[in-house]
């Protein structure tokens, strides 16, 4: 019997028209199914206005869909579950299947948490989904299909044999970009990370997995590192240039080619295209003599996992061969060749102490020229530190941890108070980034949560204009002339509008929860009288923040929303609005209104809100 399959890519954006990181995995699965001759329909929810229910209902009934597939990573749990739940609400007989890292890292936990998934695909899905589809159409025995977890009851699952890693990546079809609105994607501004400022940017894979075993990583594409041939990669690149006129390639590999000879071969073939590109590098593999060659071949940004400035922590993280001396040497070389760097120190490893954390903080302050980002470690499912957190009882309920969005927890040797103080120091330290001089807001778009600004770079004295700066973004912007990074404070007009609108909302609701204590929000609490009102409750799910006293106010766990019978919640992390709004709907039924904080930066409160029940 021929069946109709729908692959639904989760909505990752704050608003339709925002940039996002394109999920390549689903595009590869779609390509494999289409090449095998199945009836495949696709939908990318990042490009469709309207409610999830209306969009899926239209797609399912228009194409007489029998099976819906979706997937994602563990932090995207709510987005994935919402699709599965909506499908089953539309038609309980539709078969649902889920893939991606959320399933592969802990299949049974994920299937129990997701509730509405009939099947899960474990590991690489390219081959598995085709065998799954053919067995389903033949009404065959699913237990004989390797790489599946099959739901047999609410908490009962059958896991089939583990399939081998796909060794010949050239045998796979190229990703099905076209099936997921790539033309629309290419016109979007880039996602807000690393200071990237280019559109017509497409993600490509040259390899799968990673040869390293860092304690905080999980390799959802298998444990074995494998590469495509350069012939196959560049044949696809030529096709993408001809078809979409792309100007920029984001290398989506977990790790860019570690061998010098292969890097040289890649650069030799990339240079004639005049394409800019960026990639993730293992810093201990970087050779200075290759830097000018890579830059000449179009390398635009180097992403590094720096992790710590204390050798004891690097060793604990299993960063083999990496030392702070090596980090210093490579960063100096990269700076010498004027290649922009995006890198981060992540605090809170198992071995982290107050001493090791302060060593890293001290190094960071002494080397402002590298503009390294600071953040706290999260134990993501599938990683060694996640297993540690579970074994030690720090994560007590694996299913609930996934439902909570994989919040940051304290697995270090520091006390909770010391850990919270470290989190506070990180927030304050990031505020020390350079600011644009003579900054002026040129326009404001509250609907899209963007503004246009101009200002003078204090490093090179050039006047810059930025047309689409995301409000309340978790990242910063860069000077296109000297690569100086900037944290952008909210303009006075935005702050004034926000406070006036919050004042009006307080009169109506009496109590307001503001979910997401980012650097921008903590800055506002420091200066704003209205935010210090007793009816305003700052909320965050991160352990390091719920211990912080915020200028006289305690940051609360989201459970305060139920305890205080709060009916209005404002989401202050627009980039996570989908996940947080789903959490509110599921865990806080008393909330009747949810607002995106960006909708409060205009001169009045818009009638249209994120959610109203």
Strand partners, 156: 153
Domain map of the chain by residue range? 4-159, 189-378, 437-486, 492-612
What are the pLDDT digits (tens) for 54-109? 999 999 999 999 999 999 999 999 999 999 999 999 999 999 999 999 999 999 99
E strands, 354-508, in order = 373-376, 437-445, 450-456, 463-470, 477-478, 485-486
Fold for 4-159, please state it. Rossmann fold (3.40.50)
Q: How confident is the model at residue 613 (pLDDT cuts 50, 70, 90)?
A: very low
Q: How many residues does the chain have?
A: 613
Query: What CATH number should be reported for the domain whose range is 492-612?
Result: 3.40.50
What are the pLDDT digits (tens) for 444-491? 999 888 899 999 998 899 999 988 888 888 667 888 888 777 778 889
Fold for 189-378, please state it. TIM Barrel (3.20.20)
> Which residue shows structure tokens 């240039």?
241
What are the pLDDT digits (tens) for 317-359? 999 889 999 999 999 999 999 998 888 999 999 999 999 999 9
Closest CA to 430 of 397, 466, 389, 473: 473
Closest CA to 277 of 239, 244, 237, 242: 237
Task: Say yes or no: do domains 4-159 and 492-612 share a fold.
Answer: yes
What are the pLDDT digits (tens) for 389-418? 999 999 999 999 999 989 999 999 999 989
What is the Cα–Cα distance from 117 to 99, expressed in whole angstroms? Answer: 10
User: Could you tell me how far CA 234 lies from the centroid of its own chain?
Assistant: 27
pLDDT value at residue 611:
45
According to DSSP, residue 320 is labeled: T
Q: How confident is the model at residue 609 (pLDDT cuts 50, 70, 90)?
A: very low
Listing DSSP states for 313-364 in one string gives HHHHTT-TT--HHHHHHHHHHHHHTT--EEEEEEE--TT--HHHHHHHHHHH
What are the pLDDT digits (tens) for 417-439? 899 889 888 877 766 677 889 99
Closest CA to 299 of 233, 250, 242: 250
Q: Could you give phi then psi for residue 513, rounded to 5 degrees?
A: -100, 135
């Amino acid at each position: 019997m021929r069946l109709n399959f729908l692959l639904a890519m989760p909505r990752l954006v704050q608003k339709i028209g925002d940039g996002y990181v394109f999920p390549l995995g689903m595009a590869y699965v779609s390509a494999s199914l289409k090449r095998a001759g199945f009836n495949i329909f696709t939908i990318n929810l990042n490009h469709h206005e309207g409610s999830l229910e209306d969009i899926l209902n239209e797609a399912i009934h228009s194409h007489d869909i029998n099976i819906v597939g979706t997937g994602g990573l563990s932090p995207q749990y709510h987005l994935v579950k919402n699709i599965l739940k909506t499908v089953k609400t539309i038609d309980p007989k539709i078969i649902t299947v889920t893939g991606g890292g959320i399933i592969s890292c802990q299949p049974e936990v994920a299937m129990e948490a997701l509730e509405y998934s009939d099947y899960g695909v474990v590991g690489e899905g390219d081959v598995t989904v085709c065998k799954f589809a053919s067995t389903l159409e033949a009404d065959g025995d699913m237990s004989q299909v390797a790489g599946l977890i099959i739901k047999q009851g609410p908490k009962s699952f059958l896991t089939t044999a583990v399939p081998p890693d796909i060794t010949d990546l050239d045998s796979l079809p190229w990703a099905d970009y076209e099936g997921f609105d790539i033309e629309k994607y290419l016109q979007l501004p880039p996602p807000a990370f690393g200071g990237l400022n280019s559109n017509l940017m497409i993600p490509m894979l040259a390899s799968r997995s990673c040869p390293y075993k860092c304690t905080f990583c999980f390799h959802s594409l298998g444990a074995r590192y494998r590469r495509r041939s350069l012939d196959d990669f560049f044949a696809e690149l030529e096709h993408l240039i001809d078809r979409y006129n792309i100007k920029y390639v984001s290398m989506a590999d977990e790790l860019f080619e570690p061998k010098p000879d292969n890097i040289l071969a890649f650069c030799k073939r990339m240079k004639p295209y005049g394409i800019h590109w960026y990639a993730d590098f293992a810093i201990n593999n970087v050779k200075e003599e290759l830097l000018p060659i890579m830059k000449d071949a179009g390398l635009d940004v180097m992403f590094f996992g720096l992790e710590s400035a204390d050798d004891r922590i690097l060793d604990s993280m299993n960063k083999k061969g990496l030392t702070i001396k090596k980090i210093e040497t490579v960063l100096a070389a990269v700076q010498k060749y004027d290649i922009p760097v995006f890198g981060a120190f992540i605090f809170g490893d198992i071995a982290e102490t107050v001493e090791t954390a302060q060593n890293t903080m001290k190094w960071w302050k002494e080397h402002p020229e590298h503009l390294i980002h600071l953040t706290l470690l999260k134990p993501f499912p599938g990683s060694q530190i996640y297993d540690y957190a579970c074994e030690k009882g720090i994560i007590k309920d694996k299913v609930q941890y996934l439902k909570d969005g994989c919040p940051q927890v304290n697995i270090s040797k520091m006390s909770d108070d010391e850990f919270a103080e470290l989190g506070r120091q990180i927030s304050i330290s990031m505020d020390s980034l350079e600011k644009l001089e003579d900054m002026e807001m040129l326009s404001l778009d509250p609907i899209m949560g963007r503004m246009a600004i101009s200002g003078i770079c204090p490093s090179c004295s050039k006047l810059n204009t930025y047309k689409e700066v995301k409000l309340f973004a978790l990242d910063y912007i860069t000077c296109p002339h000297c690569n100086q990074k900037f944290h952008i404070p909210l303009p006075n007009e935005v702050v004034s509008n926000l406070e006036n609108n919050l004042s009006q909302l307080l009169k109506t609701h009496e109590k307001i929860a503001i979910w997401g204590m980012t650097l921008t929000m903590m800055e506002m609490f420091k200066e704003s009288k209205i935010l210090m009102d007793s009816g305003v409750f700052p909320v965050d799910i991160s352990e390091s923040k719920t211990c912080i006293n915020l200028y006289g106010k305690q940051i609360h766990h989201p459970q305060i929303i139920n305890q205080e019978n709060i009916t209005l919640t404002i989401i202050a992390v627009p980039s996570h609005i989908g996940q947080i709004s789903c959490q509110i709907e599921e865990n806080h039924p008393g909330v009747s209104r949810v607002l995106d904080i960006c909708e409060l930066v205009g001169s009045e409160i818009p009638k249209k809100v994120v959610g109203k029940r």
